[in-house]
Structure formats: structure tokens, C-alpha cells
Chain A
């Protein structure tokens, strides 16, 4: 082997140095290239269209094909808009996903159905009074006086869907009107070998708790959450404790099958539609799936009964589109969002696919909706006529909502009560502790 000397060796040293510098540049490029591109960095496409990215959430009721069709209805009348869909991992994770995207500067231009508006406030563009003129409740869900999300639709959470055949099998002739009758109904079903309440996962498990808090807490103290935010009450307060005890008792009496809490939301819905339980406390959106099932004629609806039989229906208005404050083209994003929420065909499709009640002035649902939707819609209209709507605990929006991060804790705490892992005092103490941490 010949060892180079003189100028040759010097050249090698120079080559070494150059290859080192080249390697350094390559690594630097590789590392800096790891950062993902900003999805909204190109506001116009090659055809001169204005690009808008849209965060959606596929669910059993709303598959990706639904969102594509909805967007196509808007772009048909706004051909200068080009919409790119960004799908959240799941319906229940859409808020966490949006927060992660916002934190990393990648929040799509438009989002739908955001719940944690307080956390997202710095990332969202407020809507003006003029832009909100067509909405029935233009200030619903406001955060610090700013409306960040179009209050586009109302949902009642929960209603009690029931299986008429299973009720008949247990000898129950009519749905219960008071809480005592509800307990008697559950007892009869249990005695007949039928699971009274279908439950599952985190948020479905919490539905009866939300219902009891509506009739027993919000009906008497509608501003309870505002008081909690001010520190004037705690979760350990007597009225909250009494309502929570009622929920825990349902599980203790065996009316909720604690083995079901491990199943996910789609499976829970399937379980009710397969007749694996007689009652299903769930949001009004379930009507869409119910109407598409074979047993739609056998599904009835009633409001969770209060002790004295008076009607208190938890209802939430909001859930519409919001626009990112950092969108490259806020005007185009807002134009898309408003068109999406106000186009009649879109609203009709949302009624049929997700059983939403559009909160738009002058809107009436299309004819041809299913029997379950009609029942749920009529129940809501009845509550509106009696001024009997209250906030759904855990689903409130804006300034009247729980502090960020608490919704998930509330849902998990419901599972603890059903499984018997924690008693009422422990659960309420846990919620107070977590609230202080979140605050």
C-alpha cells in the first residue's frame, strides 16, 4: 500500500475537510427538513383557486364520503374555493387532535365541532355580529364575549331511546314519566333478564349522569358551572353529591352492566340496535343511525324523567364551524364556513345523516325524515315550547363549560362509579382536585 506524501496528502486533508463540511450540510438539511410543511402555506392552487383546509371527524354516522359530498355542495356554488379535508383520528379524539395541531402551528383553516373552545381561543378567529345574523342563538358558546364557533345546530344530550319490544316483553306498557317509574321500569327489565341500560366506553357511560344532573342540578341551579368556575361551589356540594349518588345507585342496583364499559362507542350503538339492552341514553344524533336500522319502528324516545315528572331536556347549541386565526386566507375560510352552514342542502344532509337540529333562522327540517328523528325533534320542540331546556352537563360550550381537560375526567369518573372502583365522595373529590390542577 502506498502512502501518499506531499501535495497528494495535503489534497486528501482538504478532501476530508470538504467531505466533513458536506456531511454537516447534509445532516443539517435532513434535520431541518424533518419539520412538516404548513398545510396552509399555499393559499391558492395552480388553477388560481383559493385553498382551504378543513378538519373533519369521520364517525359511524358521518363517514368520509359524507364530508366529501357536503364539501362538494359548497364548492359547486363557490367554484373558486378548493377544499382539502384533514380527518381527525376519531370522533372522540377530534378536540385533542385539533389542540395538538394548534400547538404545533398546523391547525387547518376550518374545523367543525370543536368543544374545548377555551383552550383553542388564542388560535381561533372571532365571528362578527353581521356574520352571525342568520343564526338563532348568535351568542351561544361565546368565550370572553367572543363567538369563536358558528352556533349552527342544536343537539339534545341525552334522550332515552328505548326498545319497545323489550319493554313489552317485560310487561311495561308505557315509558316512565317520573324517576320512581324509571327505577320501577329498570327493575322489571332486570327481573325479565333484560339489561336495563346499554352502556359502553367513557362518554356513553356518563350519559345517565349528565341526564340526572340536568333534572336534579341544572333545573334548579342553571348557573352551577359558572359558580364552579368562580369557586363559589365545588363538586362536593350537596346537590351535586345527591345527583351523583343517584347515578352510582343505578350501577349498584345492576341496571347498568359494568362489563359493557370496556366496549367502544360503535360497539355500544351496535349493542342497543342488536337488542342487548332496553334503554340507551344518548344524544339526539343517534336518531340517524336508529332510522337506518331495521328496528326503527320499535325504537321510542322519552326525556330522562325528573322526580316530579316535570320536563327538563338538556340541549346544546353550537357545534358548527370555526376558523383558524392563522389561516393564510381568513376571508376565504370564513366564506367557506358560512356557506357550509347556511346552504339548505347541507343542512338537510346533516339532518338525515347526523340528526342535527339546524339552529338557522327560517329553517325547517326536510320531509322524509325517519320516525326516530321525528320523535326526538318533537320532544325538543315540546321542551322549547315549555321553556324546559337546560344545559347538558359536560357538553357545555364557551364560558359556561368546564375548564379545559375536565370533560375527559368527568367521563372517566363515570366509569369509576359504574365499576365501583370509587365511591361518590372519592369521585367528587377527584373532580375537584383535577379542576384545581386544570385551572
Chain B
């Protein structure tokens, strides 16, 4: 070190020796950050958060869109909901629909993904085939299936040709309609599950399977003890996405059955919320239903996510 050199002591963290703030360490400036964050944040605040907060407010009133005067009614809407057979029926319908839509595409999705986890043009083509319903509009799919399942549609015509004198009323029998509707949703969501599981399968190291095979494990045991545990993240994604999608299902119900046949045999909570709000004009009451729906979806999602993520860690 040369004599006469002036040594500058380093300043506090984030400053140079003269105490000036070091922009290189701090990264981009606040305004720079806000420029990128503001659009998304504003859109989120205006189109998601604000409507949710407003809905909670409306749920405490007797607001009707076409009635000029709105009064504060406290928790009365929530009290009525507990006794409202239409709403309770919609909760039952949604629960059944959600259970079917979460379980069936998950189970079939794993099976199809395992079958398609091969190389070759045929498998690539089949992957596209399975994913196609996912990219088609739900309304288009619903119209197509309505025609297919009509009493004089191809399914019943085929059954009649096979000698079935009175084929089922797939969409007109109240005991069957909900399951027909669920099946259509499952069919559409299957492609999504297959793609997520395929991605998961392709992330499973081949060596693990080979090592298990050398140890004498058969195909089933290899899948159960090696592949399936490593698919845990895919299961988490599929389950949470299906759960949320099924719970807020509306378009299929509107197009295929319009909540019927009869009074609410296939009416989901989302369908009832829109009916109450925009057909019967009870927006305050519909807001209360929407708030309950939000709370239920949020609670179920958090619980499911926690359980499945804990399973991921344990595995």
C-alpha cells in the first residue's frame, strides 16, 4: 500500500464510502418498479378486489337492480340463506358435481397419461386429441353434448337400435341429469389433467424406475412406490384447479339444463347466484350467496392445498 494513499472506510450497508446510497446494489428505483407493478395491481384492485368488497357490502342490503331504494338489512340475507331450499339444494348439487369432477378426471387422467407417456407421432397426436376439448368453448361443447344426449340424439338412437325400448332421458330425467352434466365436464377437464400428469411423468428420473426394476419391482409396484409419489405436485395442481373450476361452474349448467329439469335439480351455486342477481333482480341476496360461495371455495382450496402440499413434503 503506497504512503499517502487516502483510505476511505466503507459506509453502512447500501452506501458507498461517502455515505451515498448505492443504486447498483438497491436495484431499479421505486418509480421503475411501480411502472411495471401498477397496471396489474390497478386492474386487480378495480376488477377483483373492489367488486369483492362491494359484494360484501351489497350482501348486507336488500338491493334490487331495478328498485330505486336500497336499505341496509344487516345479516338478514345470510339468515334467509340458511333456510332457503333453493340455495341449500344448489349446495348439494355443487358438492356432488365437485366430487365427481375432482375424482374422475384425476383418476382417468393418470391412467391416460401413463398410456400416452411414450415417444412417437401417434402418441403426440393422441395427446392433442385428449387436450382438444379443453381449448373449445364450454358453450360449444355444451351445445354439442345437448344434441348428442337428446332423446332422439345419436346415443339413444344407438340404444334403440340395440333393442333398448326406453333409453334413459339423459338430460330430462332428474335422477340422471346431474350425472350427465358431470360427465360432460369430466370429459372436458380430462385433457387438462392428462397434460399436467404427462408433464409430471416426464420429470420422473428414469434411473429410479430402472433401479426399482433391478430390485425386482414389477410395473405396478414401480408405479405405486416410485412414480406416483413423484407425481404429488401434479396431483396438487389438478385437484385444486378442478375443485375451483367445479365449484364455480355456470356455463355448462346454463346451456345444457338451465338448472333443470324441474326446480334446481342441476342448478349449481354459481347458477343460482346469477339467477337471483340478474333474472330475479335480488342483487343484495345474490351477493350474500356469492360471498358464501367465495368463502367455501377459499376454505376448501386452502385445506386441500395444505393437505396435498404436506403430502408432497412427506414424500
**B265 beta carbon closer than 8 Å to chain A:** yes
Can you list the 9 inter-chain pairs with the closest CB atoms, starting with the nearest?
A262-B172, A103-B65, A16-B31, A405-B280, A416-B262, A259-B169, A262-B171, A415-B262, A421-B174
Segment of A133-141, A184-192, A233-241, A429-437 engaged in the interface with chain B: A429-437
Which A residues are CB-close (under 8 A) to B80? 437
**A122 beta carbon closer than 8 Å to chain B:** yes
Q: A residues touching B (Cβ–Cβ < 8 Å)?
A: 3, 9, 12-13, 16-17, 19-20, 23-24, 26-28, 31, 96, 99-100, 102-104, 119-120, 122-123, 202, 258-263, 267, 404-405, 408-409, 412-413, 415-416, 419, 421-422, 430, 433-434, 437-438
Known contacts A31-B46, A413-B262, A416-B262; is A404 also within 8 Å of B169 by CB? Answer: no
Other contacts beyond A422-B263, A437-B80: 19, CB < 8 A = A13-B29, A16-B29, A20-B34, A27-B38, A96-B279, A103-B278, A119-B66, A119-B281, A122-B67, A258-B173, A259-B151, A261-B261, A408-B279, A413-B263, A419-B172, A421-B174, A430-B263, A433-B85, A438-B280
Which B residues are CB-close (under 8 A) to A16? 29, 31-32, 35
Q: Does B31 contact A409, Cβ atoms closer than 8 Å?
A: no
Q: Does B278 contact A96, Cβ atoms closer than 8 Å?
A: yes
Q: Does A20 contact B35, Cβ atoms closer than 8 Å?
A: yes
Q: How far does the alpha carbon of A433 sit from the alpha carbon of B84 in the complex, in Å? A: 9
Q: How far does the alpha carbon of A28 sit from the alpha carbon of B39 in the complex, in Å? A: 9
**B258 beta carbon closer than 8 Å to chain A:** yes
Q: Which of A17, A103, A260 is close to B66, meaning CB atoms less than 8 Å apart?
A: A103
CB distance from B101 to the nearest CB of A (A): 21
Chain A residue at minimal CB-CB distance from B280: A405
**B9 beta carbon closer than 8 Å to chain A:** no
Q: How far does the alpha carbon of A9 sit from the alpha carbon of B170 in the complex, in Å? A: 70
Chain A residue at minimal CB-CB distance from B283: A103
Which B residues are CB-close (under 8 A) to A422? 262-263
Most chain B CB neighbours (cut-off 10 Å) among A17, A262, A415? A262
Q: B residues touching A (Cβ–Cβ < 8 Å)?
A: 23-24, 29, 31-32, 34-35, 38-39, 42-43, 46-47, 65-68, 80, 84-86, 150-151, 166, 169-174, 177, 257-265, 278-282, 285
Q: How far does the alpha carbon of A223 sit from the alpha carbon of B23 in the complex, in Å? A: 83
Which A residues are CB-close (under 8 A) to B170? 262
Which B residues are CB-close (under 8 A) to A20? 31-32, 34-35, 38
Q: Does B86 contact A202, Cβ atoms closer than 8 Å?
A: no
Chain A residue at minimal CB-CB distance from B83: A433
CB distance from B116 to the nearest CB of A (A): 35
Which A residues are CB-close (under 8 A) to B150? 262-263, 267
CB distance from B301 to the nearest CB of A (A): 27
Q: Which of B84, B172, B264 is close to A261, meaning CB atoms less than 8 Å apart?
A: B172
CB distance from B27 to the nearest CB of A (A): 12
Most chain A CB neighbours (cut-off 10 Å) among B68, B166, B265, B285? B265
Q: Which of B23, B34, B280 is close to A404, meaning CB atoms less than 8 Å apart?
A: B280
Q: Does A419 contact B281, Cβ atoms closer than 8 Å?
A: no
Q: How far does the alpha carbon of A104 sit from the alpha carbon of B177 in the complex, in Å? A: 34
Which A residues are CB-close (under 8 A) to B174? 416, 419, 421
Known contacts A99-B65, A103-B65; is A23 also within 8 Å of B38 by CB? Answer: yes
CB distance from B248 to the nearest CB of A (A): 20
Q: Which of B151, B258, B263 is close to A409, meaning CB atoms less than 8 Å apart?
A: B263
Q: How far does the alpha carbon of A34 sit from the alpha carbon of B260 in the complex, in Å? A: 34
Q: Does B173 contact A259, Cβ atoms closer than 8 Å?
A: yes
CB distance from B61 to the nearest CB of A (A): 15
Q: How far does the alpha carbon of A437 sit from the alpha carbon of B282 in the complex, in Å? A: 9
A-B interface contact total, Cβ < 8 Å: 130
Q: Does A31 contact B262, Cβ atoms closer than 8 Å?
A: no
Q: Which of B35, B177, B263, B278 is close to A100, meaning CB atoms less than 8 Å apart?
A: B278
Which B residues are CB-close (under 8 A) to A28? 42
CB distance from A143 to the nearest CB of B (A): 13
Which A residues are CB-close (under 8 A) to B171? 262
Q: How far does the alpha carbon of A437 sit from the alpha carbon of B279 in the complex, in Å? A: 14
Q: How far does the alpha carbon of A416 sit from the alpha carbon of B173 in the complex, in Å? A: 10
Q: How far does the alpha carbon of A419 sit from the alpha carbon of B32 in the complex, in Å? A: 64
Q: How far does the alpha carbon of A421 sit from the alpha carbon of B262 in the complex, in Å? A: 8
Which B residues are CB-close (under 8 A) to A23? 35, 38-39
Which B residues are CB-close (under 8 A) to A260? 151, 172
Q: Which of A24, A262, A405, A413 is close to B281, meaning CB atoms less than 8 Å apart?
A: A405
Chain B residue at minimal CB-CB distance from A24: B38
Q: How far does the alpha carbon of A260 sit from the alpha carbon of B150 in the complex, in Å? A: 9
Which A residues are CB-close (under 8 A) to B38? 20, 23-24, 27
Which A residues are CB-close (under 8 A) to B35? 16, 19-20, 23
Q: How far does the alpha carbon of A123 sit from the alpha carbon of B66 in the complex, in Å? A: 8
CB distance from B41 to the nearest CB of A (A): 9
Q: How far does the alpha carbon of A28 sit from the alpha carbon of B38 in the complex, in Å? A: 10
Q: Does B24 contact A3, Cβ atoms closer than 8 Å?
A: yes
Most chain A CB neighbours (cut-off 10 Å) among B23, B84, B279? B279
Q: Does A416 contact B263, Cβ atoms closer than 8 Å?
A: yes
Which B residues are CB-close (under 8 A) to A3? 23-24
Between-chain CB contacts (< 8 Å), 13 pairs: A19-B31, A27-B39, A96-B278, A99-B66, A103-B66, A259-B166, A262-B151, A263-B150, A263-B151, A405-B280, A416-B261, A419-B173, A419-B261
CB distance from B276 to the nearest CB of A (A): 9
Q: Which of B84, B166, B169, B278 is close to A99, meaning CB atoms less than 8 Å apart?
A: B278
Q: Does B31 contact A17, Cβ atoms closer than 8 Å?
A: yes
Q: How far does the alpha carbon of A122 sit from the alpha carbon of B281 in the complex, in Å? A: 13
Q: How far does the alpha carbon of A102 sit from the alpha carbon of B68 in the complex, in Å? A: 12
Q: Does B260 contact A412, Cβ atoms closer than 8 Å?
A: yes
Which B residues are CB-close (under 8 A) to A100? 278
Which B residues are CB-close (under 8 A) to A120? 66
Q: How far does the alpha carbon of A267 sit from the alpha carbon of B151 in the complex, in Å? A: 11
CB distance from B177 to the nearest CB of A (A): 8
Known contacts A13-B31, A24-B38, A31-B42; is A202 also within 8 Å of B260 by CB? Answer: yes
Q: How far does the alpha carbon of A415 sit from the alpha carbon of B282 in the complex, in Å? A: 24
Q: How far does the alpha carbon of A174 sit from the alpha carbon of B259 in the complex, in Å? A: 40
Chain A residue at minimal CB-CB distance from B45: A31
Which A residues are CB-close (under 8 A) to B46? 31
CB distance from A298 to the nearest CB of B (A): 22
Q: Does B169 contact A9, Cβ atoms closer than 8 Å?
A: no
Q: Which of A24, A263, A413, A438 is close to B172, meaning CB atoms less than 8 Å apart?
A: A263
